[in-house]
Every structure is written in structure tokens, then in C-alpha cells.
Chain A
Amino acid sequence: MMKKLYRYLSPLLIAALVLGSLPVAAAPASTDSGLVSTQEALTTERVQQDRERIHEVLARDDVQQQLVAQGVDPAQVEARVAALSDAEAAQMAEQLEQLPAGASVVGALFAVFVILLVTDILGLTDVYPFTR
């Protein structure tokens, strides 16, 4: 019963959200006189499709959620995402998931320590300050 309800409800919600955010994407900085903004002209120069623009708007929402999940203060999230360019927002949405976790990986194995020690001495890496 609920599943059936969701099946109808979800597309409607998605459509509503997408439509709701469209004007933001279509006219980011247009002025009263209807002039074409620089940002708009630059994106059009890149032959960008509307589909990609929608993608970028959704990317910002996505990044907001991801930042909160990463422990960023929710009060800060909106301002942080607002300062990203469209391309950066898209990059964040795609790449944050693929990030390797933490630096603590180094130091897990003695072999790794030895390798890095030698590469440090060879001048290929810069992990241990006492090698210089």
C-alpha cells in the first residue's frame, strides 16, 4: 500500500523539486533590463545543455547533504556551498564519495614505513622530517 503510494509520490516530488530550482539555474544574475549575464554567456559558450544545468543545481543540494554528513556545522553549510562555482559544485558532488579515507593509512605496515623511508632518502617523498 505504502509502496504504491511512494511510486506515485516520488516522481511528483522530484519534478516539483527540479522545477522549483530551475529559475535559479536559468537566471543566476540577470538584471532587470533582461541583459544576458556574463556567467550565463560563459556557460552557453561551453555549449551547455539544460540537462547539465539541472544537474548542477542538484549537485549543490547533494554537496550540502554530503558536507553535513562529513561533520560540517549545518549553519556553515549553505554559505560554503554558495561560494562554489558551478563546476566546483559538480566536482564536489562527484568526487567527495571517491575520496580515500584519512591519512592514517600511512603507518599501518612496517613495509610501508621502510618504503617511505627509502623514498624520502631518495628525495621522492617528504614524509619523515628526520631524513633531511
Chain B
Amino acid sequence: MTPCPIRHHANTLRKNARAPGVLALVLMMLNIAGCASTPELSESTSQKLPQQTLLEEVPFHGQRDYQCGPASLAMVLNASGVPVDLDTLIPQVFLPGREGSVQPEMLATTRRHGRIPFVINGGFDALLTEIDAGHPVVVMQNLSLPTWPVWHYAVAIGFDREEETLILHSGMEPERMTSFTRFDATWARSDRWAFIALPPGDLPATTDAKSALEAIADFERVQGAKAAIPAWEAFVARHPTQAMGHFALGNARNAIGDSQGAIEAFEDAVKADSGLAVAWLNLGLLHRELGEGDKAHEALQRGATIPGAWQEQAKEALDDLKMGGE
């Protein structure tokens, strides 16, 4: 889905243009032209954002051939403090058979380098907000029309609202200026796909709690609990009412041997949502492991009363506990 464009095919086209083709083209043009408009910022975003911003510290890597994927990744990874070079990234994310890189692997490779990929869903508002927050954004564009796609990754690093231009490290061109309208037209063709790469502990300025939670959980699966702990701590600080965040922090702490910290986190989880059965279950299991029978009993009993996927397991653990106690 993502070969990057090489910009030298214009000369090869000197073939036949025919009247029906021209007619079809004119009709298409009229049809498509209706869709293009300058993206509008919402009132609140508009007030918060400065007139212009440029993340000058984001390094530029020129793409070779079709390798805009690895080049874009190198730029955001370098910007977040990972000193990886293009030659390392190409065999990790480039698909020779497709002459491009696919979206899932862009995210996966970010994880391999110890950064959390957060997909940004909020459209143009979110894009500018993230840039303003200091996060360079990898965007996926179709520079051409849907019928003849030219998929391309670039890194959005700045904007000028007065001039209505977005500034991108793109292809062979650092700090390329593109009008908001043109950019949005090409970006919309990828359903406005974009992501940022952040070190554990930093959170996106825009993403909702659930997406952030899943992004961190996916990162933890690859990089392990120890690497994910700062991310979970930042998450619960930002979203104290999200019980799953506390639950996840508890698991991560437990995995590195911090039982006491884990118990605190599980307690926070059930405080935030007393209906989160799996947190009661883990709290009980951990108390049981630490030999704190009464507390284990109490927590498991709570877990066993909540219908759902974990009820059976909580009941079994409770029975085990009673048998062991006698």
C-alpha cells in the first residue's frame, strides 16, 4: 500500500490523447473539484494554537528510491532521541516486493526501537495540535488520485496559519511547504492516517484514553513491562479515572517484582471502577501469593460476585484459598 513516488516519469508519457478521454477527464475534474476545500480548525483549537510553528530540531533524511517509509521513521525516531540510521531501518520496514512500507510495520518498527507509536485520529485539528506540542507527525498521503495511487509518507514538522501552509520533510525535500488545501486533499485519501513516536512517559496531546491505553499495551507486549512502566505511570497521571490504566500499571510493576507497588495500583484500579472484576482478581491473587489470606479472600470474593469473563477464575481461586486455609 505504500510505494513512495519517484518524480521522473513525466517524460515517458507521449502517447495518444483522444477525445473521449479528454471528455471523461473534464467530467471527472468537475466531479472531484467539488470535494476540495481548505480544512477548517475548530474554534477551541484555533484559539489554542499559535499562528506559526516549526520544529527545527527534527533532522531530515532524504528518501532513496521508494524508501520514504524508512526515511520518515528515521526522522521521527531521531527527533525522539533514538540515534538509528536509515540503513538500519530499511531492512526492518521496507517491503521490496511492494516497493514500499505498510502502515502496520511502520508502527511495529517504531516499537522495536523503544518508542511508542500513537496513531492520531483527530484529523487536521489533531495534526496541528501535535506539531504544536513538539511532536513531529508521520503522515500518509496519496499524492495522486485514488484510481492511480501514489502512496507516500512524510513528516509534518510545522505550519503557518496565515499563509495556510503546512511544512513537511518530504521525499528529497526538507521543509517543503504545501498549502493546507492540497495537503488535506492528499491526506484525506489515506483516511487521514498519521502517527507520532514518543518515548515511554510522554503522551500524545490529542489521542483519547482508550487508544493510548492500547498503544501502550501493544508496546509492552514487544518491549516488556520494565520499558512500559513510565508510560503507564504517565497514563494514570493523565487519566486517573481510567481503571484499566491502574490495572496495567499494577501488572507491569508486578512483572518487575514490585509487589507492593502492584497492590497499590490494583487498589487504585478498583477504586476507580469497583466493577473491574479482573483487577479484583489480580489483587486477590497477588495477596494470596504474598500470604495475606484475609485480604486475598476479600478481593477474590468481590471478583467472584461480578458476572463476566473472570467470575469463574475468581471463584476457583476463592475455593483454592479456602481449601488451603483448612
| Chain A residues within CB distance 8 Å of chain B | 28-29, 31, 33-39, 41-42, 44-45, 67, 69-73, 76, 79-80, 82-85, 88-89, 91-92, 95-96, 99-107, 109-116, 118-119, 122-129
Contact = CB atoms under 8 A, between A and B. Distances in A.
Given A42-B244, A84-B105, A123-B181, A102 B144 contact: no
Contacts of A128: 7, 10
B145 A115 contact: yes
A39 B221 contact: yes
Contacts of A76: 91-92
Contacts of B51: none
A83 B111 contact: yes
A92 to B, nearest CB: 5
A111 B112 contact: no
A65 to B, nearest CB: 12
B148 A110 contact: no
Contact of B25 (A69, A73, A88, A115): A115
A35 B285 CA distance: 7
A33 B22 CA distance: 71
B149 interface: yes
B309 interface: yes
B32 interface: yes
B112 A35 contact: no
Interface residues of B, number: 83
B118 interface: no
Contacts of B129: none
Nearest to B282: A35
Nearest to A89: B104
Nearest to A122: B33
Contacts of B217: 38-39, 42
B108 A80 contact: yes
B32 A124 contact: yes
Residue in A69, A79, A88 whose Cβ sees the most chain B Cβ within 10 Å:
A88
B28 A115 contact: yes
B36 A122 contact: yes
Given A42-B217, A71-B97, A99-B98, A31 B254 contact: yes
A125 B29 contact: no
Nearest to A92: B104
The 6 A-B residue pairs with the shortest CB-CB distance, nearest first, are A70-B97, A71-B96, A88-B104, A107-B9, A83-B108, A85-B218
Given A85-B218, A103-B5, A103-B66, 10 more contacts: A29-B255, A38-B251, A39-B220, A70-B95, A80-B105, A83-B109, A106-B150, A107-B13, A115-B145, A125-B144
Nearest to B21: A111
B248 interface: yes
Given A115-B28, A118-B29, A110 B15 contact: yes
Contacts of A101: 98
Contact of A119 (B4, B32, B105): B32
B220 A38 contact: yes
Contacts of B17: 110-111, 114
Contacts of B35: 124
Interface in B16-74: 16-18, 21-22, 24-25, 28-29, 32-33, 35-36, 66
Given A35-B285, A91-B104, A41 B25 contact: no
B25 A111 contact: yes
Contacts of A115: 25, 28-29, 145
B275 to A, nearest CB: 12
B69 to A, nearest CB: 13
B177 to A, nearest CB: 9
